[in-house]
Structure 1
Amino acid sequence: MGKMSRLGWLIGIHMGTFPVFLILAVTFNFKNHSFIPAYAMSLFIGILG
């Protein structure tokens, strides 16, 4: 049960922070013209929470 609640918490955190990191990735895309690395990094940070 504790494992399931932890999983749900991680998913909730990820879903809550992902739009923010997606916006950051788009911003980095406009600044550096490197969308893929920025997106990958934002996704990685989002997964880590």
Structure 2
Amino acid sequence: MIWLTLLLTVIITTAIVYGAGWIRRHRETHPELYKNRGVIGFIVWLILQY
């Protein structure tokens, strides 16, 4: 059970780090999306796209 918790922790940490890097790159290529949105607003917008 401990290994499962560790595995989930690693996956979540990797997802957060990768997601932050992706948002940073996306912000550079699509600056107009970020003019009146924070990171939370962007995440909500991204979820609504799917």
TM-score by structure 1 length? 0.49
Bigger fraction of residues in helix:
1
Q: Which has the larger radius of gyration?
A: 2
